[in-house]
């Protein structure tokens, strides 16, 4: 698929389904806004630069990939930066380090070999684990501090319950633009609260500045945050997101332009550019893709729309938006994050059917029975093995809050199930060698 075809698809989809595309474009705000606000309040990043560069990356991603691929925060870096009040130099150093590592990993071909070697149950485990992690994080961080009537009339458990019931309603009636309606309601509430506090946004043109990390910034950013981000970016933001894109949008991703190398290069380019200007380190994530798909996005037009909105807002309002965004109801954001987690959880259902890429390819190669549920064609042992590998990955990922631990646990489980096969092959080789010796 070339750029002309990609953008013809973007334009056609937006013309016929513009409400769904706009609604879907807002699906990942539940992850983006809380982290961006927290970092901006601490002066760790520039909100205006974050909006401008993430908006620019949204536009370019939509143009080049043609799917609702998100631009979201690097969560491991953000978590450490918030907890330890990083300077803008330290967080920039962390983002630049991860970008350089991913770039090297890509151009050497090691990333492609690594991705091809990962068993599908482990990849699905990473996706399901990411979904559970989103739900748990939303319940603990966003919704956990709410009571039935506080912290305000616009942000409490009653609104969270109403938003969740509305989410369940739109699970049945998918054409209802859930994210768009919830975002507009939250924006109205935030504007009212800001007006009452005399803290409405004002015209504030962007004044770009460069961030040049010094020696201590590099050591703190790399050791404390960058190293921990690498497995999360590699597994969830590159490998898992490529597989999820092919699962959710097979008709759009049937060409070779969406692969681990192209996604990795995109992640590297975004941070090698934006981090020098005080923007938040960003990546592509399976959670964001699931959220935008869940709320209606089906093409790159959705994130192009979001990118233009971010770009204009960042250029003309920038830092004056911090107060408004801080007042956006966490009750509504939290339920949007739960919706993204639920969409990611659903990918585990296809583990033992042709929804799994390895099974789909095997069936297509051997029988041509594309699209059929071939669970019965797998032995009970094979189905239980695949399920166990996926659940070990999920359990360890969620339990340790670490993608790398989940990946290693799932890999060890996969190898443990292969021990009888290896032993049987070894015995067969030994018996064959013994027969040859006797004949001689």
Predicted confidence (pLDDT) per residue in 202-228, tens digit: 888 888 899 999 888 999 999 888 888
Helix (H), strand (E) at residue 227: helix 227-232
Predicted confidence (pLDDT) per residue in 28-66, tens digit: 888 888 889 889 988 899 999 999 999 999 999 999 999
Name the phi and psi angles at 85, rounded to 5.
50, 60
pTM (two decimals) = 0.85
d(CA 45, CA 40): 5
Residue 10 and residue 252 in contact, taking contact as beta carbons nearer than 8 Å: no
Round the average pLDDT of the chain to a whole number and report it: 86
Give the model's pLDDT for residue 432.
Answer: 59
**Alpha helices (H) along 173-210:** 178-196
d(CA 8, CA 18): 14
Confidence bin at 371 (pLDDT 50/70/90): very low
End-to-end CA distance of the chain: 60
Instruction: Give the number of other Cβ atoms within 10 Å of residue 414's Cβ.
Output: 20
Judged by DSSP in three states, 73 sits in: strand
| Assigned token pair, 101 | 């590592």
Judged by DSSP in three states, 188 sits in: helix
Taking 70 as the threshold, does the pLDDT of residue 258 lie above it? yes
Give the domain ranges of the chain. Answer: 3-349, 351-364+377-437
Predicted confidence (pLDDT) per residue in 139-174, tens digit: 888 888 899 988 999 999 999 999 999 999 988 888
Predicted confidence (pLDDT) per residue in 15-33, tens digit: 999 999 999 999 888 888 8
Taking 70 as the threshold, does the pLDDT of residue 334 lie above it? yes
């Amino acid at each position: 698929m070339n750029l002309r075809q990609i953008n013809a698809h973007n334009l056609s989809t937006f013309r016929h389904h513009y409400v769904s595309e706009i609604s879907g474009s807002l699906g990942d705000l539940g992850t983006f806004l809380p982290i961006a606000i927290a970092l901006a309040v601490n002066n760790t990043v520039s909100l205006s630069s974050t909006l401008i560069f993430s908006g620019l990356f949204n536009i370019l991603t939509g143009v080049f990939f043609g799917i609702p691929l998100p631009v979201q925060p690097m969560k491991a870096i953000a978590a450490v930066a918030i907890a330890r009040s990083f300077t803008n130099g330290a967080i920039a150093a962390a983002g630049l380090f991860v970008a350089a590592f991913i770039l090297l990993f890509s151009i050497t071909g090691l990333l492609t070999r690594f991705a091809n070697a990962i068993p599908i149950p482990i990849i699905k485990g990473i996706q399901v684990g990411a979904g559970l992690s989103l739900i748990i994080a939303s319940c603990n961080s966003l919704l956990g501090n709410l009571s039935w009537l506080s912290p305000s009339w616009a942000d409490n458990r009653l609104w969270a319950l109403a938003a969740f019931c509305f989410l369940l309603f739109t699970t049945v009636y998918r054409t209802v633009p859930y994210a768009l309606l919830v975002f507009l309601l939250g924006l109205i509430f935030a504007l009212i609260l800001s007006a009452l506090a005399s803290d409405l946004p004002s015209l504030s043109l962007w004044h770009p500045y460069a961030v040049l990390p010094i020696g201590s910034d590099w050591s703190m950013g790399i050791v404390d945050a960058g190293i921990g981000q690498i497995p999360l970016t590699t597994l969830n933001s590159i490998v898992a997101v490529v597989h999820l894109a092919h699962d959710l949008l097979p008709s759009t991703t049937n060409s070779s332009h969406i692969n681990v190398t192209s996604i990795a290069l995109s992640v590297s380019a975004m941070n090698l550019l934006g981090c020098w200007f005080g923007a938040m380190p960003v990546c592509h994530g399976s959670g964001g893709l699931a959220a935008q798909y869940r709320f209606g996005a089906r093409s790159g037009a959705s994130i192009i729309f979001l990118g233009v909105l971010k770009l204009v807002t960042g250029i003309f309002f920038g830092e004056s938006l911090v107060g408004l965004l801080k007042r956006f109801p966490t009750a509504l954001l939290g339920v949007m994050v739960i919706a993204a987690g639920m969409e990611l959880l659903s990918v585990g259902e296809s583990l033992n059917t042709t929804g799994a890429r390895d099974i789909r390819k095997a069936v297509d190669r051997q029988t041509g029975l594309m699209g059929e549920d071939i669970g019965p064609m797998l032995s009970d042992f094979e189905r239980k093995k695949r399920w166990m590998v996926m659940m070990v990955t999920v359990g360890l990922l969620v339990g340790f809050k670490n993608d790398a631990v989940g990946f290693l646990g799932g890999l060890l489980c996969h190898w443990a199930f292969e021990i009888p096969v290896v032993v049987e092959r070894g015995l067969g080789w030994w018996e064959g060698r013994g027969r040859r010796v006797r004949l001689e």
